[in-house]
Structure formats: C-alpha cells, structure tokens
C-alpha cells in the first residue's frame, strides 16, 4: 500500500489495480470454489488440503 502511494504521489506513475476488473472477481470465485471442493475429496493429493 505504501509503494502505491509513493509511486503515485512522488514518481507520478499510475498504478492499475487489477482487483477492480470483473475477471479478477471471477477468477477468485473459481479458485475458492475449487479449493472448497478439492479439500473434501478423501484421496492422497487432496487430503493434504484438509486441516
């Protein structure tokens, strides 16, 4: 956060925020849903994700 403020105020560099794009919302949603599903599969590579 501090870097963004310094870059915009002192270096006059515009910083794009990628989280405000609609694609970022969809990607985050897909990652969360996939993690939610995969952590409940009771086989070796997936049971590592469960607590």
pLDDT at 46: 78
Number of independent structural domains in the chain? 1
pLDDT tens for 1-51 read 677 778 778 877 777 777 788 898 999 999 999 988 888 888 888 778 777
Would you say the C-alpha torsion 50, 39, 31, 29 has a positive or negative sign? negative
Q: 10: domain range?
A: 2-47
- Do 14 and 4 form a contact (C-beta atoms < 8 A)? no
| CA angle (24, 33, 29) in 5-degree steps | 15
Say if pTM beats, i.e. exceeds, 0.85: no
pLDDT at 41: 83
Give the whole-angstrom CA distance, residue 40 versus residue 28. Answer: 19
**Residues 6 or more apart in contact with residue 50 via CB below 8 angstroms:** 39, 40
């Amino acid at each position: 956060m501090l870097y963004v403020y310094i870059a915009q105020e002192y270096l006059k560099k515009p910083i794009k925020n990628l989280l405000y794009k609609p694609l970022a919302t969809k990607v985050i949603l897909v990652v969360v849903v996939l993690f939610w599903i995969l952590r409940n599969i009771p086989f070796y590579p997936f049971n590592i994700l469960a607590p």
